[in-house]
Structures are given as C-alpha cells and as structure tokens.
Amino acid sequence: MSNPSETLIRIIDLHKSYYDGESELPVLQGIDLEIKTSELLAVVGASGVGKSTLLHIMGTLDRPTAGQVIYGEQDVFTLQDTELARFRNKEVGFVFQFHHLLPEFNALENVAMAALITTPSNKTIYEEAASLLEYVGLAERLSHYPSQLSGGERQRVAIARALINKPKVVLADEPTGNLDRRNSEAVHELLWDFNAKSGQTFVIVTHNSELAEQVDRVVQLVDGKVVL
Amino acid sequence: MKFEWFVASRYLRSRRKQSFISIISIISIGGVALGVATIILVIAVLDGVEHGLKDRFLSNEAHVALSIFDHSFFKGYQERIERIEAIENVVAASPVIFAQIGVFREHSNTIQDAIYIKGIDTAQEDEVTGFSTFVIGSTDFQNSELIEQAALINEGETITGGIILGGRLATRLGVMKGDVLRLLIKLVESPIDSSMLLPDLANFVVIGFYESEMEAYDNNFGFIHIDTAQKLYNQQNRVNFIFVRLTDAELAPQLATKIEAAADFTVLEGMPNARTWMEAQAALFSALQLEKIATVIIEALIILVASFNIASTLIMTVMEKTKDVGTLRTLGSSRGNIMRIFMIQGSVIGTLGTMIGTALGLSLCWLLRTNTQRPSYWYIIALVVPIVLQFLIASQHAMRNRGGWKFAVGVLWLIGIGFALYCAVRPISLVDLGLSQIYQMHQLPIKINWVFVIFINLLSFAICWLATLYPAWQAANLKPVEALQHE
Ligand SMILES: Nc1ncnc2c1ncn2[C@@H]1O[C@H](COP(=O)(O)OP(=O)(O)OP(=O)(O)O)[C@@H](O)[C@H]1O
Ligand SMILES: [Mg+2]
C-alpha cells in the first residue's frame, strides 16, 4: 500500500475550451489541484461549471486545451492512444450517473470486461468479478442482464466494474444522481467501504450536500477555477 | 484478439439472447451468399455451354486448316504433312481438296445448287476429323456396290466415283442412296460452235450420308475421294488444303505459325495461311467470351451490393453501439481494440456468407447436372415440419425462451430446405425447351471451373473485408466523451 500522504495526481494549470467555429467557450480556466493517495475528494459546483469536463480529463477520456495531468511521475497526455488506453485500463476506474453497462453482457461479464481487455479469459478473473458482485450485494444476480436489474443494482454493478483492475483512482460523476435516497445511501456506503478497505483514491462529483460532508476534502469549482 | 472476439461474437447475436444470430446478421450473410452462389452457378452454366459447343464443334472440325492464301494447289503435300506431324502436340494432318461446285439439274439444264466438295483420304481424314464415325453408309468411294449397281442402271455413262452427302443436303437435293448426282466441273467450248459453252459434268453415285449434327456440314458438304478430286481438277499430286488435329484445341494459335513454317511454301507458291478453328468461329466464341465477362462484372456487382449490405449493417451497429464504444473506451479499450471488434463482425459475416454461398452454388451445380431419380412433391413435408414448429415456438412462450428449441428448429429448417432443393432442382432439359437443336445438347450443361471458384472466394473475402474498414475505423475514432454522452 502506498504512502497515504503521497501525491497521486497533480493537475497543473489545466485549461479546457470548447470551440464552436470561431467562438471559444472557455470551461476550465487554470485548474491547479493535488490529490493524495487514499484521499476521498468531492468536487462540487454549479451546473455547467465544468465538473464533468474536469473528471473526463483527469480520467484521460479527453485532452485538455492546455496544462498537465501527472500521475506519480507520468504526464499522461504525452502517451499515445494505445498506452493511454492501457493506462486507463490499469489505473483508473469510472462510475457515471448513468450506469453505462453493456446490454449484451450479464452482470458478471460486465464486471469482468475491463480485466478481459488485457488478460485472456480465465477463472480467476470471473472469481474476482463474482466476489466483487457479492461484496456489492448482488451474489444472486451474476447472470442477470442489465435490463433485468433495478437502477440501484445496475449502479452497484457499475461500481464493482470500476474496481476489477484495482485502479489507483476511481472517478465518479454523480454516481447517485439518478437514484432515490435509500439507494443513494447504499451506494455511498459502498464507496466509503472500498476507500477504507483498499485505500483507493476516490474523486466524486456530486450535488449531494450530505455526501459532500462525509468526504476528506471538498473542492469547489467557480468560473472554471478551484476555490477552496 | 480473445477480447475482441468475445465482444464481436456477442454483437453478432440479437438482443434477445436466445437467438443464435441476429436477423440483420442473417440478412447480410444471405446477401453475400446469394451473390457468391449465383456467380458460381451462372459461370458454371456459361462455361458448360461454351465447353459443350466447343466439344460439339470440334468433334468434326480440324483445329488448323493450312492453305496458301489464295487457296491455290500445291504439290509435295505428303512431305509437308510428315513435317507438320513431327511438330510437338500435332496429332495428325490430312490432305484435302476443298472447293465449291455446282450440282447440275439435267432436265432443266441449270445449276440446282452450289455445294462444298471435300476431297479426302479416308484414313488420314479419320485421324483429323473423325470422318467415318459420322457417316451412315459406305465410305468406300471407289468400290462400293452401289457404284456397280448405278453403272448397270445408267448404262453408257461414266461413273466418276462415290460421294457422301451431308444428310440434310441430300434431303434438300432430293437424292437417295444409289442415285447419281451430276456435278458441274467447268464449262467447255462446244466442239461445234466455239461461242457456245457446254457443261463438263462428272457423275457421282451417292454412297452414304454424313450426319454430324453440325448444320454447316450436314447442309452444305459433299465428300469424295482425294484421287477423284485430283483428277476432276486436273491437279495430280496436288491439294489445296492440309487439315491438322492437335492434342489440345486451345494450342491452335500457338502452333499455327509453326505449322506455317513446317509447310515451307516457296515464294512462288505463295504465302502460307494457317487458319485456327477459333478464327473460323471467331464470332461465336468471342460472343461467348464477351457474355462471360459481362456476367462476371454483373455478378461482381451483386457481391459489391452485398458488401454494401455488410457496410451498412456495420455502420448501423456502430451507431447503435456508440454509447457502448464509449464505455469500452473508458474501460481501457484502445482504438485498435474497437477497430478489431467491428472488423471481426464484418469478417465473420463475409466469411460465413462466402462459404455458404460457395456451398450453395456448388450444390446447385451438382443438382443441375446429376440425373438421379428424385422424389417429387414429398419435399413439401420436409418444409411443413419446421414451419409448424416455428409457429409453435412463436405461440408458446415456454418454448420461445428455450435456446435448444430454436437451435433444433434451425437445424430442421436447414434439412427441410436442403431436401426441398434436392428434390426440386433437377437437370434442365433442353429438349423440353426446344433448344436441343440449336445447342446440340440434351440438358443444360454445367462445368465448374475450380480456379474461378477460388478466385470468386478470394474476391468476395476481399470485398467484404474492405467493406468493414470504414465502419470499423469510424467506431475506433469516436471520441470517448462524445460517445459516452450519445443518446
Ligand atoms: N462537447 C462539448 N461541446 C461544447 N460544449 C460543451 C461540451 N461538453 C460540455 N460543454 C460545455 O462545457 C460546460 C461544462 O460542462 P460539464 O458537463 O463539465 O458541466 P458540469 O459541471 O458537469 O455540469 P452538471 O453539474 O450539470 O453535470 C457546459 O457549459 C457545457 O455546455
Ligand atoms: Mg456533469
């Protein structure tokens, strides 16, 4: 386990603008942020301020207009597509507001998917996936397809999926934004559990003030910048 | 590739997990299969017709006809024949006097008809054109009984020799075996009045009929002995043609120049001209060739259309799966992974389609050329079974959700359709269609050209593979974030 006080992610002067023809829409305007290993971080801010955009760039799904994202010593945007994909596969887990499960695959396969990308299918992967599903309380639902699961169950599968490759960081974009109160709490419990159990770093974008109170640190975005 | 196969194979199936393969995949596969099957079948028929016609045509035709350009007579032909027969791949050569001649109608003192006369040496001609096999009656030009009888009947007239007439020509002229035919050799000045021309006639006794079923011969030709012809034209020890047979008719163009060289005509004799059977029948066979090229182009277009089908299927899948592509990218699939997933899908469709098409095309070829007793009508029952089961499955919820049932019915469908094809597809009789006279064949001929079958397979694979490139590339280049947010 890595040193809890160690910096895992460093974001330096990050800019992101969207362009529509000639006109520029600046969204992120110089984000500086350090995230420590095992930290449980919440990102809050008004709708449209650029929380999702920041999370996507942190997760290397999108490239910034300017600035750097450094994991350990690695400036990730110097990597080629294949290396970046490999990096994302190994080091980053995603949970979205909408579950984004693959409808053609059952719960077990959905959870195993990220591992199967790089490793030929084997029993260990499926055992690992099954134990994760068991942990999120879906031991009875392994062979169910997403369409056969409830909203809360789907989101729990999505959390299990984000963790299969034991990533250093899990990026969650309003993971409970689509759930009722009871389901939201169950999901939150799970996130805290994993954070405590495995020491993984969690960055959670949320509008939920209750949740924001339970984290290590809250980062607020205003006008494309971080205010503390 | 394991991962890509894992995802691609799932995408080939339908949403409902019970189905082995989705309807849209089946349609795409069917499109390719149909294209490949028809191209194999149509080309086999065209090849069959061409081959059949060539066979028929070459059965009594020399492969090369050597002459001097103006068809003038030359001597020393036996030596020339020996030299020609020494050429590799030459089977035999035979001396021929070939001319047009008038048939004289006695009572009206006019020329009834113009026919071709071929003066031949029976033994040598048999080697080249199989002459005797087509003759009904005697081939003994000099000593046939019929000649003696005719000489007795037509007392006082000199009989020059026997003649074998094309069967249909004989009918046209209204002559029968043993009849005397008067041929007009040339016109001579009358000994009494030099301004008057008299016909110099030769009398021939019809000793047999030539029945090759080749219109050009049966309707226009008469055969006489070469010695007789030489006397008739006053060309002792000379002929004007040498006919040549080769081990393989297709070698004719290559060997023509060698044959011309072997003939070794002097400058005084004239320029040699070795005419191949292809040149003689250029119109017919180049038409067949053109037809084949046109067919290949049209059929290749069918495969192209089928490949568009694959491309559009894939583009639709890519659009439908855009969000999932985004998800796969967040899970750490590279562009290459995504590209391969969709290329595998397209390639499986292309490969299955090509294989099924080839199997279907070859089976149809086999059914069309195999004359066996096949059950009629009973095949309906073979189709009734899967139809009934299909209805049952559609109506019984319990059965619908059982993959095993669907698979079993799928197999029964295959058996039913296969059996129905076996019963229904039979050799096509050209006699029934009234075409046997024109094509000189009893049933629609089928000839499978394996090199072409392999070529079409490769072509189909290549076209289908190319069709996957763009959609797969499109999927690979979806921006992860945009793909994720795709509705
Ligand atoms: N692909 C895009 N093209 C153009 N503009 C975009 C694009 N994606 C996002 N934006 C704009 O960037 C801004 C930030 O969007 P983002 O989704 O990051 O906001 P957010 O903070 O996550 O909001 P919410 O809390 O509502 O999810 C918005 O104004 C949005 O309109
Ligand atoms: Mg957002």
The tens digit of pLDDT for each residue in B231-243 reads 888 889 999 999 9
SS3 B332: coil
On whether residue B439 sits in a domain, the answer given is yes
Cβ contact, residue pair A116, B15, below 8 Å? no
Q: Which residues of A touch B14 (CB under 8 A)?
A: none
A53 C-beta closer than 6 A to ligand 1: yes
On whether residue B388 sits in a domain, the answer given is no
Q: Which residues of B389-398 are buried (b: 16+ CB within 10 A; e: fewer)?
A: beeebeeeee
A122 touches chain B (CB under 8 A): no
Q: Looking at the partner chain, which of B15, B331, B336 has a beta carbon nearest the beta carbon of A89?
A: B331
A120 C-beta closer than 6 A to ligand 1: no
CA of A185 to the centre of ligand 1 (A): 26
Mutate to test the interface with A, among B321, B324, B327, B331 (most CBs of A within 10 A): B331
Q: Are residues B334 and B243 in the same domain?
A: no
Lowest mean pLDDT among A13-17, A93-97, B47-51: B47-51
**By CA distance, what is B320's nearest residue in A?**
A103
Q: Are residues B83 and B50 in the same domain?
A: no
Q: Are residues B132 and B18 in the same domain?
A: no
Q: Are residues B193 and B261 in the same domain?
A: yes
Tokens of B143: 């000593």
Distance from CA of B309 to the nearest CA of A (A): 23
Enter the pTM of the model: 0.73
Q: Which residues of B touch A121 (CB under 8 A)?
A: 2, 6
Instruction: Name the β-bridge partners of A9.
Output: A35, A71
Lowest mean pLDDT among A160-164, A179-183, B349-353: A179-183
Q: Are residues B174 and B75 in the same domain?
A: yes
% of chain A residues with pLDDT over 70: 98
Q: What is the pLDDT of residue B106?
A: 66
Distance from CA of B400 to the nearest CA of A (A): 18
Say how far apart CA A201 and CA A39 lie, in whole Å: 5
Say how far apart CA B53 and CA B440 lie, in whole Å: 8
Q: Which residues of B touch A57 (CB under 8 A)?
A: none
Residues with Cβ within 8 Å of B223's Cβ and at least 6 positions away in sequence, in order, are B117, B118, B119, B120, B131, B163, B164, B165, B210
Query: How do strand B90-105 and strand B180-189 relate by DSSP bridges?
Result: antiparallel
Lowest mean pLDDT among A63-72, A86-95, B22-31, B235-244: B22-31
What is the residue range of B27's domain?
2-56+285-371+426-485
Say how far apart CA B250 and CA B200 lie, in whole Å: 43
On whether residue B92 sits in a domain, the answer given is yes
Picking from B270, B295, B314, the residue at the C-terminal end of a domain is B270
Residues of chain B with pLDDT under 50: 18
* Residue closest to A44 by CA, chosen among A228, A192, A185, A221: A221
**By CA distance, what is B327's nearest residue in A?**
A100
* Residue closest to B293 by CA, chosen among B452, B55, B451: B452
Q: Are residues B149 and B192 in the same domain?
A: yes
Q: Which amino acid makes up residue B405?
A: W
Q: Are residues B14 and B83 in the same domain?
A: no
Q: Are residues B40 and B173 in the same domain?
A: no
DSSP state of B17: T
Q: Are residues B343 and B432 in the same domain?
A: yes
Q: Are residues B177 and B257 in the same domain?
A: yes
CB A184 within 8 A of CB A212: no
Picking from B235, B270, B305, the residue at the C-terminal end of a domain is B270
On whether residue B396 sits in a domain, the answer given is no
Q: What string of DSSP letters covers chain A?
A: ---TTSEEEEEEEEEEEEEETTEEEEEEEEEEEEEETT-EEEEEE-TTSSHHHHHHHHTTSS--SEEEEEETTEEGGGS-HHHHHHHHHHHEEEE-SS----TTS-HHHHHHHHHHHHS---HHHHHHHHHHHHHTT-GGGTT--GGGS-HHHHHHHHHHHHHTT--SEEEEESTTTTS-HHHHHHHHHHHHHHHHHH--EEEEE---HHHHHTSSEEEEEETTEEE-
Say how far apart CA B27 and CA B313 lie, in whole Å: 9
**By CA distance, what is A144's nearest residue in B?**
B17
CA of A29 to the centre of ligand 1 (A): 14
A71 touches chain B (CB under 8 A): no
On whether residue B196 sits in a domain, the answer given is yes
What's phi and psi for A30, nearest 5 deg? 100, 65
Domains along the sequence of chain A with CATH: 7-227 (3.40.50.300)
Tokens of B273: 């001209």
Task: Indicate if the pLDDT at residue A1 is higher than 50.
Answer: no
Looking at the CA of A173, which ligand is closest?
Answer: 2
Tokens of A6: 């160690």
Q: Which residues of A touch B332 (CB under 8 A)?
A: 85-90, 92, 114, 117-118, 165
Looking at the CA of A47, which ligand is closest?
Answer: 1
A94 touches chain B (CB under 8 A): yes
A105 touches chain B (CB under 8 A): yes
Tokens of A25: 């829409």
Nearest CA to ligand 1 atom 17: A52
Q: Which residue has the tokens 């994909």?
A: A85
Mean pLDDT of chain A: 86
Say how far apart CA A156 and CA A138 lie, in whole Å: 8
CA of A27 to the centre of ligand 1 (A): 8
Distance from CA of A117 to the nearest CA of B (A): 6
Mutate to test the interface with B, among A80, A106, A117, A147 (most CBs of B within 10 A): A117
Q: How many domains does chain B have?
A: 2
Give the environment of ion ligand 2: residues with CB less than 5 A.
A 52
Q: Are residues B264 and B354 in the same domain?
A: no
CA distances from B375 to B173, B388, B414, B416, B423 (A): 49, 22, 18, 14, 6
Cβ contact, residue pair B335, A85, below 8 Å? yes
Cβ contact, residue pair B324, A103, below 8 Å? yes
Q: Are residues B299 and B336 in the same domain?
A: yes
Picking from B270, B305, B328, the residue at the C-terminal end of a domain is B270
A19 touches chain B (CB under 8 A): no
Cβ contact, residue pair A85, B17, below 8 Å? no
